[in-house]
């Protein structure tokens, strides 16, 4: 019986091989009849010379999954050497105004000459209205001639012929067909933009064309990158804004993968959702979001149908604050390592204390006496852990004990909804202060988070 089964298996195996040979021969015959297959068109650019491409990753070393796309360089001269940071943004014609010029003004005006020498901005004009393109290029040349000449600004365009279909696509999430078209086209814009930008800088920052920038954002980003690299941990995306596809930073070596990812799934979902999936596929499971945010959405009307858009990043701060040098003390019970000093120092740290009692305090003792002009104190996390009842005081004459404090204090006013904010303090209190104290005026069951204390000062003579 086993002999019969063995013979039958041999016969079946032979027939399978013969069948496979026949199908393969027939397929090759058909291919030959159709003629040689066209070779994939190489990636083209509209200028001569080699780009400074980094070969630190295997991603850069081959033309796998090629994207056939030709770029038109409309204005600017590519830098001869790789910059530290490339900033990319895509812009289309809006039904109600344009924010591109103010966005560019903000990027360049909020950067020092030294910072500008290390960055390059790439703008993809992604609309197909030629008159709009010509008018926009003209305005950019008039307003940013120096940045264009110095290789700090490039304006590019991708003709419509290189785009796959963006109409008649499947309606995921029950989105209207025009919404699907808009977000799918946007994914393709970002795909082409990131592919072009690969290698122009060591790192790439994605912005939208309707944002304002914090002062010296470049230095802050560079500091965060160095801190992250020092941790020797895997990361794919650093986020400097919590909104949409604003302030997302990538390693240049990852851009070819990101470009192809956005292209491959362009019709599936919005770009900010795809961005999250890309980060996770690159084995970064947790979001790395830095605060305060360095970029703020300033557009009033969306690029989609010109609809009203009031989206704002609550963690944005236009100026990178620097509180005066000081030591911070508190008699509130501290949770883990969320020490009082963290509410004062720059960074993401915060003070987290257990349920405060009446009379508890957090006292800031300035290294040198100062004239205080503005104070902002924000508490809570979300809508929890607010400081419900407290007042802010300024003090004079430092007393040195186990904990430094001041001999006398006077009240500036109470907290409202977990927040204290006061400006032009020097107009009423012009004398120098040595302390700032947050005094709890009623007990509360909830714990308290003090995540932001901002103080502006001036010297006595100014």
Structural tokens at position 350: 């915060």
**Cα 249 to chain center, whole Å?**
6
Structural tokens at position 128: 């197909």
**Cα 73 to chain center, whole Å?**
26
| Superfamily of 58-297 according to CATH | Spore Coat Polysaccharide Biosynthesis Protein SpsA; Chain A (3.90.550.10)
What is the spatial distance between Cα 111 and Cα 64, in angstroms, rounded to a whole number? Answer: 37
Q: What is the pLDDT of residue 3?
A: 47
195 by Cβ neighbours in 10 Å (0-12 / 13-18 / 19+) ranks as buried
What is the spatial distance between Cα 219 and Cα 410, in angstroms, rounded to a whole number? Answer: 38
- Please answer whether residues 195 and 69 qualify as being in contact, where contact means their C-beta atoms are separated by less than 8 angstroms: yes
- Please answer whether residues 267 and 169 qualify as being in contact, where contact means their C-beta atoms are separated by less than 8 angstroms: yes
Q: Give the SS3 label for residue 46.
A: coil
Structural tokens at position 72: 């038109």
Instruction: Please enumerate in sequence order all residues whose Cβ is within 8 A of that of 104, keeping only pairs 6 or more positions apart, or say none.
Output: 121, 123, 140, 143, 144, 153
CA torsion sign, 108 to 112 to 114 to 118? Answer: negative
Burial 64-83 (b: 16+ CB within 10 A, else e): eeebebebeebbbeebeebb
Q: What is the pLDDT of residue 316?
A: 53
Could you state, in order of their start, the residue ranges of all structural domains in the chain?
Answer: 58-297, 326-458
Structural tokens at position 257: 């993968």
Omega cis (within 30) before 292: yes
Q: The tokens 């300024």 sit on which residue?
A: 394
Q: What is the pLDDT of residue 432?
A: 92
Q: What is the pLDDT of residue 66?
A: 65
Q: What is the pLDDT of residue 50?
A: 39
Q: What is the pLDDT of residue 39?
A: 40
The CATH fold of domain 326-458: Jelly Rolls (2.60.120)
Residues of the chain with pLDDT under 70: 1-66, 96, 299-322, 347-348, 401-402, 459-462
Q: What is the pLDDT of residue 21?
A: 43
CA torsion sign, 41 to 46 to 47 to 50? Answer: negative
What is the spatial distance between Cα 295 and Cα 273, in angstroms, rounded to a whole number? Answer: 19
**C-alpha gyration radius of the chain:** 29
Residue 107: DSSP 8-state: H
pTM: 0.61
Give the DSSP H/E element, type plus range, for residue 84.
strand 83-91
Following CA atoms 8, 14, 20, 23 in sequence, which dihedral angle do they give, to the nearest 10 degrees? Answer: -100
Q: What is the pLDDT of residue 201?
A: 93
Q: What is the pLDDT of residue 387?
A: 94
Q: What is the DSSP string of 119-143?
A: EEEEEEE----HHHHHHHHHHHHHH
Q: What is the pLDDT of residue 5?
A: 42
**How does strand 405-414 pair with strand 390-399?**
antiparallel
What is the spatial distance between Cα 270 and Cα 85, in angstroms, rounded to a whole number? Answer: 25
What is the spatial distance between Cα 56 and Cα 54, in angstroms, rounded to a whole number? Answer: 6
**Cα 436 to chain center, whole Å?**
34
Q: What is the pLDDT of residue 301?
A: 44
């Amino acid at each position: 019986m086993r002999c019969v089964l063995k013979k039958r298996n041999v016969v079946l195996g032979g027939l399978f091989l013969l069948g496979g040979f026949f199908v393969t021969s027939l397929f090759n015959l058909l291919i030959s009849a159709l003629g040689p297959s066209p070779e994939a068109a190489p990636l083209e650019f509209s200028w001569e010379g080699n780009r400074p491409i980094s070969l630190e990753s295997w991603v850069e070393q081959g033309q796998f999954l090629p994207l056939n796309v030709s770029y038109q360089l409309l204005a600017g001269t590519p830098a001869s050497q790789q910059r530290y940071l490339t900033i990319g943004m895509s812009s289309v014609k809006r039904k109600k105004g344009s924010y591109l010029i103010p966005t560019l003004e903000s990027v360049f005006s909020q950067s020092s000459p030294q910072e500008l020498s290390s960055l390059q901005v790439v703008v993809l004009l992604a609309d197909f209205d030629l008159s709009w393109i010509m008018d926009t290029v003209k305005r950019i040349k008039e307003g940013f001639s120096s940045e264009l000449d110095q290789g700090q600004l490039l304006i590019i365009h991708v003709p419509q012929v290189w785009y796959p279909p963006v109409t008649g696509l499947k309606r995921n999430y029950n989105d209207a067909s025009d919404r699907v078209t808009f977000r799918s086209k946007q994914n393709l814009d970002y795909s082409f933009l990131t592919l072009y930008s690969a290698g122009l800088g060591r790192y790439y920052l994605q912005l939208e064309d309707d944002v304002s920038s914090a002062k010296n954002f470049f230095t802050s980003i560079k500091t965060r990158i160095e801190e992250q690299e020092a941790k020797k941990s895997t990361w794919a995306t650093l986020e400097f804004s919590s909104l949409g596809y604003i302030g997302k930073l990538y390693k240049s070596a990852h851009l070819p993968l990101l470009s192809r990812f956005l292209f491959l799934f362009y019709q599936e979902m919005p770009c900010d959702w795809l961005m999250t999936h890309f980060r996770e596929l690159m084995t970064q499971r947790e979001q790395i979001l830095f605060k305060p945010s360095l970029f703020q959405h300033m557009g009033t009307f969306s690029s989609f149908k010109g609809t009203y858009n009031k989206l704002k990043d609550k963690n944005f701060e236009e100026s990178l604050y620097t509180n005066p040098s000081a030591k911070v003390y508190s008699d509130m019970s501290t949770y883990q390592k969320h020490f009082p000093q963290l509410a004062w120092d720059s960074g993401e740290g915060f003070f987290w204390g257990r349920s405060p009692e009446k009379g508890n305090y957090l006292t800031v003792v300035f290294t040198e006496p100062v004239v205080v002009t503005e104070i902002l104190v924000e508490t809570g996390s979300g809508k929890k852990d607010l400081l419900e009842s407290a007042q802010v005081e300024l003090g004079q004459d430092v007393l040195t004990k186990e904990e430094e404090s001041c001999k006398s204090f006077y009240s500036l006013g109470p907290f409202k909804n977990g927040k204290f904010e006061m400006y032009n303090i020097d107009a009423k209190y012009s004398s120098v202060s040595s302390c700032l104290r947050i005094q709890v005026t009623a007990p509360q069951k909830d714990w308290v988070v003090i995540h932001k204390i901002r103080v502006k000062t001036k010297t006595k003579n100014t």
